[in-house]
Structure formats: C-alpha cells, structure tokens
C-alpha cells in the first residue's frame, strides 16, 4: 500500500479538451500537448495519483494499461465538470476489510464523522473577523449540536443534527453572497454551482484515497446504501467539505467568482467552458493544500477500522482558520 513519503510525490493531472489538449505517453511519461502540439505538461507515471479529463478526449488502450500498471485512476468529466465515467485503479482482494464492512452495524463512526464536520464548520465561523450577535449565537448553538452527536437516539436524529447545523452554518458563512440556501445539484445560483464543482473534486480525491485500501465504496456507515451510490465516499467527504466552503468564500471575496463566467439555462446556472480551467485551478489547489491530511485521515481510518480500535483512536480532521 502507498506510504506517506511516496504519496507526497504524487500529483493530480488535469487535461482540458476545451483548449485542444491531447494526451500521449512516451517512456512511462504522460504528456499533455495543446492544439499547436506544444507540450503543456510532462509527468512521470510514477508520480501520478489521478488523471482527470475535462471534456472529450480520445483515450487509447495504452493509457488504460498505464493506469493499471502505475496505479492511478482516470476520471472523465463533462465540460461543466460533471463526472460521467471512471477507470478505476483500486486495491483488489481485501476480503477481510469488506467482510468487516458488511458486518458493521453501528452508529459510532457516523457520530464521529458528523461531530468532526460540525466542529470544522464552527471553526470557520469562529475565524470570521467581525462577528455579529447572531453569528456568536450560531457558534454556541452549533457547539451544542456537536455535543449532541455523542448519543443520538437513531440515524434519523443524527441526520437531523447534521442538517440543522449545516443550514445554520451556510446561512451565516455565505451571508451577503446572494445565498438562497443549499440546493445540491440543482444549481439554482452561482454559489451552489461552484460548491457542486468543488465538492465533486473533493469526492474524486476521497474516492482515490479509499481505493488504495480496497474498501467497498458502496457500503457506507452514515449515508444509507442506495443503488449505485458510493455511500462510503460520501461519508469520508463530510469532515472535509469545509475546505471547499472556505475556498469559495475566499474566492468570492477576491472577485475570482464573476457572474459573467456563468450561463443560465432552464433555471440552472453552469460554468462556461472557457472558464473551467480557472475555477478548477483554485478549487483543486485548495484541496491539494490538505492532501496529506486527507491521506493520513483515510489511512488511519483504515487502520482503526480493520483493527477494531476504540472510537477515540479514529482520526479527526481540523481545518485551519
């Protein structure tokens, strides 16, 4: 399995077909060229963690073979950054891990995930320089919600605590940004659209991490299992959503998010193709700033789960203000 020192050398490589970019390989090196056949990027396959292709690019059997040989996943995303395909590179045959997953029937890990998420949301609110009375009251309320995750009566109560805390957080964190509430995948406004893109990238990173150990991605501990939903990846993303929340607010303040960068069709906003690269750059960079934290979190989660460690030894992620 991949060690931390080796992981530090790994990178996410992104190819944008909207700019005429093409992929090729030479001597175990991945090469991305623009439409003028100039080399935009050259990277050894040994240092690729994941390859993301935005738009339509021809993929040869040689690319797929390199993915399996060097252990990196390939994600296919539309021009609007919506994932539609995956060529996976996962650890296979870890049947002991999967047996433990299927036998697990408890709320302990789910409680810790929700607690971690609420604590990070609270820390972001605390990082605000100017705090109104309403924000201070929200911090106190969310701290109380975090404490209540220790002993919810059932999953529905835990879902309720996560939901009410998140709504309270969003209402203050995105105040003054034409915020109308979180509406996943409906893209009712620009901020929701950018959040969807950022959460998708975060999901891809978490999925790659879990694949390193051979988890069944569909067997969750908090999100209920539905057909073709990778519930465990949804679980692992929860403590880290604050990374995207923080970056989107920062980008808005720096005027990196502009209304002219988006189009609207049938009441839904979408990022214009020519702006994909700009938004992808600062969203992915914000995630990669914490890539070691995410790696160590998933690694420790695996070790704790497979060895049946007590819950206090499970990992916790803490966002920096």
> What is d(CA 289, CA 305) in angstroms, rounded to the nearest whole number?
26
* Higher pLDDT among residues 27 and 297, named by residue: 297
Per-residue pLDDT of 233-279, as tens digits, reads 999 999 999 999 999 999 999 999 999 999 999 889 999 999 999 99
- What does the pLDDT read at residue 7? 84
- Phi and psi at 268, nearest 5°, equal -120, 135
Select from 3.100.10.20, 3.10.129.10, 3.40.50.920, 3.30.500.10 the CATH code of 4-87: 3.100.10.20
Q: Average of pLDDT values for 80-106? A: 86
Q: Using alpha carbons only, what angle is made at residue 53 by residues 48 and 54, rounded to the nearest 5 degrees?
A: 140
Short-list 71, 91, 90, 92, CA closest to 28: 71
Predicted TM-score (pTM) above 0.85? yes
CB 21 within 8 A of CB 58: no
- What does the pLDDT read at residue 267? 85
- CATH number of the domain located at residue range(s) 95-313 in this protein: 1.20.120.920
The domain segmentation of the chain, as residue ranges, is 4-87, 95-313
């Amino acid at each position: 399995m991949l060690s931390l020192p080796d992981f530090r050398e790994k990178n996410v490589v992104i190819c944008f077909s909207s700019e005429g970019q093409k992929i090729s390989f030479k001597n175990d090196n991945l090469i991305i060229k623009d439409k003028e056949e100039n080399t935009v990027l050259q990277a050894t396959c040994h240092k690729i963690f994941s390859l993301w292709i935005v738009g339509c690019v021809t993929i040869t059997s040689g690319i797929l073979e390199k993915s399996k040989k060097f252990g990196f996943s390939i994600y296919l995303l539309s021009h609007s950054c919506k994932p539609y395909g995956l060529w996976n590179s996962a650890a296979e045959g870890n049947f002991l891990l999967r047996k433990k997953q299927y036998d697990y029937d408890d709320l302990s890990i789910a409680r810790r995930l929700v607690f971690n998420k609420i604590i990070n949301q609270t820390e972001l609110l605390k990082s605000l320089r100017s705090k109104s009375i309403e924000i201070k009251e929200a911090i106190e309320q969310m701290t109380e919600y975090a404490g209540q995750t220790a002993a919810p009566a059932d999953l529905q109560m835990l879902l309720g605590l996560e939901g009410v805390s998140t709504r309270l957080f969003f209402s203050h964190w995105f105040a003054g940004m034409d915020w109308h509430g979180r509406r996943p995948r409906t893209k009712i406004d620009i901020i929701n659209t950018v959040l969807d893109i950022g959460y998708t990238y975060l999901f891809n990173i978490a999925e790659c991490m879990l694949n390193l150990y051979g988890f069944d991605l569909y067997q969750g501990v908090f999100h209920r299992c539905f057909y073709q939903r990778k519930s465990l990846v949804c679980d692992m993303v929860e403590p880290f959503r604050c990374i995207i929340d923080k970056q989107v607010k920062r980008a808005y303040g720096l005027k990196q998010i502009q209304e002219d960068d988006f189009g609207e069709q049938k009441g839904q906003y979408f990022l214009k193709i020519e702006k994909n690269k700009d938004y992808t750059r600062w969203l992915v960079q914000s995630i990669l700033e914490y890539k070691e934290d995410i790696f160590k979190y998933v690694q420790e989660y695996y070790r704790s789960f497979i060895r049946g460690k007590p819950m206090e030894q499970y990992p916790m992620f803490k966002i920096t203000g």
